[in-house]
Structure 1
């Protein structure tokens, strides 16, 4: 093989991967900068330039960050202005008042019920409307205001024929009177209503909240000190429940304090035995149904725990019969002691067992202004 038949190596000046025969042709001299022709723009890029670029800038720029910041500030504002747990529970109860017990479907309302009720012209600083002297009222309300008994008890007394006026027995609680002049109960005249008074009583365990007991058991009136006016209890405490019990000489005030619609909060402390967690107690905030009985929202907190023994604080606004005990027993807990520590703004505090303290008159007036 001669040197002429051997293939020539590729030229060093040619690009890698190409032979000297395939080397690109050299371009001519470049025109000056000012004389270069403008590069034609691609039509599809020119069309999308006005829409795509603003979207990329919006995605990478301030608008998205400002939107996230606005959402964060709104959420924090809602947290700061959110009501307490008991208020949220009250709103939940009011919203679900028309819902079914089991199905959860809202009952259809009549067109009249859907219409908003007119707001009262009375401001929050003004006290609730009081009946003027000489204004016609039902006899049950007048006797309750005089401290004879509650309205329901007065109606029972009327049915039993124990109430009369000018010697004639009153046979209907719908009797309208302007005063109690000539009215007698069990043959004794009824005096004019005295000034409203409210007392705090530290009820000991083992006493019934009743005027008398057919079985002969002791009642709270056997423990009250002498010299007090005729008082009626606000609500009831079980035989073995101790703590704060309100007493008043005004049957109308008694009724206002007992109604769940006023939203007055009752606070209890229970000593329990059993396994319980705070997470399980917090489920009571939405209410609970036990054996067909529906109980409203309860704010329950586990104060302290030693082994299987612990103290639970419970706040509620209804106060049904044995409500606290039944709810705790439903959770598998045994209640060994139950104390009511507060009723609305009135606190048991350091009041000794079996002692009585009177609420100052100016505090009572201020409190009655807040009642709905």
Structure 2
């Protein structure tokens, strides 16, 4: 008996497409197994060991894995159980049968995008700064930010734990004694966005994380959550596979921005 499961069946079970559409994807040469294009029907795979991709995006064939995007409100701590009795993430995770945990952290006064999952390998790649996964924030800050200040953030500022530079920064709005600044970086240092803006003389009044790697908050309301789409999950898994053989010699705290 041939070993493994039919490739089109595995793709369909992963929720990528119906079995008939999966057969068309294979015939069109849009599916790879372990990096090799498969363009003939009948291929069998081992879902536990073979890496499948469609149109270059990784496919998660393990249906026990759960991936959730949450728009964390302010006032909620990034923990599944807060020993001080403050509102925590358990109110969002407890509705699932799987035991979920958060990827990285946002401080209690920062709102925005958090990922909840039970996939530890993926969480490691997303959260650890050595893998360079970027995060984008919008900050409302005190005072009128100038182009020169934006350039300082890009060129780098000196903090008590060493220099830091934004990957990108831009001014969105200047009005009534405050400004909106968009800043992108991949650092995992504690409260790094707030400290950077403090260093250039513009303390943060409000802070929202709008994106995390390829994920974008979009129109997801504060306190709302949803499962990742197949395309979003594929983009995350593709990043994880790209770095799966990379280790990290650096030890840093989990991100808490």
TM range (shorter): 0.5 to 0.7
Aligned-pair distance for 1:363?
A: 3.9
- 1:195 matched to 2:64? The reply is yes
**2:182 alignment partner in structure 1:** 313
Q: 1:355 aligns with which of 220, 224, 247?
A: 224
Please show how residues 1-372 of structure 1 align to structure 2 within 5 Å.
126=35, 195-224=64-93, 226-361=95-230, 363-370=232-239, 371-372=242-243
Q: Is the 8 A contact 2:113 2:217 kept in 1?
A: yes
Cα RMSD after superposing both structures: 2.5
The answer (yes or no) to whether the contact 1:282–1:299 under 8 Å persists in 2 is no
Secondary structure of residue in 2 paired with 1:261: helix
Is residue 214–residue 232 contact of structure 2 (8 Å, CA) maintained in 1? Answer: no
Moved over 6 A (4+): none
Aligned equivalents of 2:182, 2:139: Cα separation in 1:
6
Partner of 1:79: none
Q: Flag structure 1 segments of 5+ consecutive residues without an equivalent.
A: 1-122, 134-192
SS in 2 for 1:239: coil
Could you report, residue by residue, the CA deviation over 1:78-129 in whole angstroms, capped at 9, with x for unpaired residues?
A: xxxxxxxxxxxxxxxxxxxxxxxxxxxxxxxxxxxxxxxxxxxxx9x939xx
Question: 1:203 offset after TM fit, Å?
Answer: 0.4
Deviation of 1:308 after TM superposition, in Å, equals 2.0
Return closer, same or farther for 1:364/1:333 CA change in 2, 3 Å cut-off: same
Shift of 1:361: 3.6
Q: Distance in 2 between matches of 1:245 and 1:345?
A: 13
TM-score by length of 1: 0.46
> Is the 8 Å Cα contact of residues 145 and 174 (structure 2) preserved in structure 1?
no
Q: Deviations over 1:243-274 (max 9, x none)?
A: 11111111111001112232211000001112
Distance 2:79 2:189 in 1: 16
- Structure 2-normalised TM-score? 0.66
Which has the larger helix fraction?
1
| Cα deviation 1:172-202 (Å, max 9, x = unaligned) | xxxxxxxxxxxxxxxxxxxxx8633321001
Partners in 1 of 2:104 and 2:221 — Cα distance?
Answer: 21
* Structure 2: distance between partners of 1:352 and 1:358: 14
Listed as ranges, the gaps of 5+ residues in structure 2 are 1-31, 37-46, 50-61, 244-257
Distance 1:296 1:126, change over 3 A: farther
Instruction: Name the CA shift for 1:360/1:241 in 2 (closer, same or farther; >3 Å).
Output: same
